[in-house]
Amino acid sequence: MNRHHYAVFIRNCRLILLLRRDFSEGDPNIFRPAEWRWKLAQVCDDRWHHYAVQVDFPKVTLYVDGEEWRTDEKNPEVIDDWPLHPAKGVNTTLTVGACWQGSDNKTKHHFRGYLAGLSVLIGRNEKPEVLSCLRRCQEGLHVPSMDLLQPGTQLLTNSELSEVRIDGDNRTNVEMLLRRVGYSNSRRFPTPGRRNFRLDTTIICEGKEARPLAVPAIQSYITVLPPPRPGIAVNGTGYVAREYVDFRLGVRVFPDAKVTAGSAARLDACAVSVFPSLNPDHESLGLSGDALLRLHSVTARIDRDGVVLSGADTPYNYQQLIRLITYTNRKPAYYLDRVFKLTCSELSGRFASNEYIQTLAVIHPKEKSSPPSTPSEPPIARILEPAPGHVQLSPHHAQLPEEYATTALRDNSRVSSGSHAVTIVAATCVGFLLLMAVLGAARIRGAAKRRRSAGDELAAETEMAWDDSALAITVNPMDRLADQQDPHSNGQRDEDVDDSGSSDSDDGSFRDDELDSTDCENDCELVTGHHRHSSPRDLEWDHRDV
C-alpha cells in the first residue's frame, strides 16, 4: 500500500511539498491543504540554490537562498486532500532522493540532480535570520553602501552575492562604486585557493543611431591563504588509583581534564575510547542525564567501546561534560588497571586535538601480617636512659627531641637485630664448612695409615717366617733315665744346657733387634715358639742339622 505522508520533490520546474494529515489529527471527512506547488525560475536554471520550507499548519513559508518567497493568489498552487485513513501494521519509511512505493516494495521517481545536504528540524521553526545566514554568511562580493549612490545610478546584486551590476551616467560615481566592490569570506577556516573574477564593461552613447562600444573584459584572481591551524589541547593527570569501594560506586575517569582552544572555537565532537572493550557483565560507563539536559546542543552515545559526545558547543561546556563521565566496575579484583583515550575535534574532524590517555589503577588490599608479640617491658624503656647532664654530653644528643630519639633507637634496634641474625647465620655456615674439612682430612689420614700398616705387617711376616724343612728335633729317651739315677750329673748337664740356652737367647735377642718395633705380635709369637723349642728339659738342638 502506498501512503505518501510527506515529501519534497521537483516536477515540471516546480518545487512541490506534500504533507498529508494523519487520521488522528482532525476530522477525516474534511478536506485540508495537503500539497503546495511553487513555480520558480531557480528550479531549472542549472545553478545551486538553497531552499528552506517552514510549516506552521496550515501556513507554509518558502525561503529561496535565504530570502522569503513572496506568495500571490496563483503561486503557490495549493491542493486539498483527505487525511490518511487508519491502518495497522504499516511502518513509515523515510527515503532521500527517491519515493518509496510500498505496493511494489521498492523506490521510484528518483531525483535527477545534485543534493548537497538535507536537514529536518522537528518540533520548532528556525528564525529567518538563521536561514538568511546559511546562504549569505560565507564568501561573496562585498557591496558598497547605498549612501554612495548618486541620482541616475543604481546598484544590483543577485541572491548569492556573486554578481554586482552598476548602472549610471556619471563616470566618476561609477568608478568610485567599482573601487568599493570587494571580496569577503566570513568562514572561520575558509578553503584556501584561488578565486577568479571577471569585469565586463559596456558603454552606450546617447543618440538614436548610437551603438554599444565593446570594451575588452578584464580577468584577475584573489588568492585565499590557508589559515593557521587551531590548537585544541586536552590534558590532565595521567594516572589515578582508587580502592575497590570507589570502583563499585563509580569513579570519574577524567576528574581534572582541561580542554583548551581558541576564543572563537566551537568543538563538534569528543570521543572517549577504551581498549579492550568493556565487559557488560560488571563494567559500564555513565554520564549524568541532568548535565545533558542543560546542554541541548550536545548529545551522548554510550556503549561498551566508549563515549561519543557530538554537537557544536564551546570547549568549556565539553570540559564540564567530560569531567562527569564515570566508570563502574563491580569486580575490580579481576583488573590491575584500565586505560582510556580522549580526543576532541572541530569542523567535522577537520582539526583534531592530541590524544589524552588516562589510566585508572586498582589498589589491591595487602595481606595483614600478624602483629609482633609485645614483651611486658618495652625494649625502649631498657635502652633509653636519661643522658648525663655534664660537659661530656654530645651536642647532637642534646638537640635531639625525645620523640625522635625514641624513633631512632627503635630503628637502630631493628637494624642491629637484623645484622646480628646475618652474623649468626654466616658463622654457622663457616663452622659447618670447617667441620666438614677436618672430618675429611682425618678420614684421608686414617685410610693412608691403614694402608701403610698393612704393608709393614706383610713384609714382617715374610721376613720372620721359619724354614721348617731344615729343622729336625731328636729326643734321647736314655737321658731321662740317666738323670733320674744320677742327680749330680743332671745338675752338671743343666748347667751345660743353661749355657746353651743363654747362647740361644743371645741368638734370639740378636734376631729380635732385626725385627721392626711395630710387629709386636709376630715378635711375641717367634720368641714364645723359640723358647718352647729350646726348653732344656724337652728339646735339644741338633747343630749338625742346623
Per-residue pLDDT of the chain (546 residues; tens, 9 = 90+): 566 677 888 888 888 888 877 766 667 677 778 888 998 888 888 888 888 888 888 788 888 888 888 888 888 888 887 777 777 777 777 788 888 777 777 887 788 888 888 888 888 888 888 887 777 667 888 888 888 888 888 888 877 788 899 988 888 989 999 999 999 888 878 888 999 999 999 888 877 777 788 889 999 999 999 888 778 999 999 899 999 999 999 999 999 999 998 766 789 999 999 988 999 999 999 998 888 888 888 999 999 999 999 998 999 999 999 999 999 999 988 888 899 999 999 888 888 899 999 999 999 887 555 555 554 444 444 444 444 444 444 444 444 444 444 444 444 444 455 577 888 888 999 998 899 999 888 888 888 777 766 666 655 555 555 555 555 566 666 655 555 555 444 444 444 444 444 444 444 444 444 444 444 444 444 344 444 444 444 455 555 544
pTM: predicted TM-score of the whole model, two decimal places? 0.44
Cell 704393608 locates to 455
Cell (9 digits) for 140? 561573496
Q: Which amino acid is at 278?
A: L
The single-letter DSSP state of residue 526 is H
Q: Torsion over CA of 402, 404, 407 and 411, rounded to 10 degrees? A: -120
Q: Alpha-carbon distance 242 to 540, whole Å?
A: 117
Q: Select 233-362's CATH number: 3.40.50, 2.60.120, 1.20.58, 2.60.40.
A: 2.60.40
Return the domain boundaries, the chain: 6-132, 138-224, 233-362, 462-533
DSSP code per residue over 176-204: HHHHT-EEEE--SSPPPEEEEEEE--EE-
The single-letter DSSP state of residue 280 is T
| pLDDT at residue 325 in the model | 94
| Tens-digit pLDDT profile for residues 469-517 | 555 566 666 655 555 555 444 444 444 444 444 444 444 444 444 444 4
| pLDDT at residue 235 in the model | 92
Q: Alpha-carbon distance 184 to 364, whole Å?
A: 62
Q: Alpha-carbon distance 294 to 298, whole Å?
A: 9
| pLDDT at residue 471 in the model | 53
Q: Alpha-carbon distance 422 to 390, whole Å?
A: 38
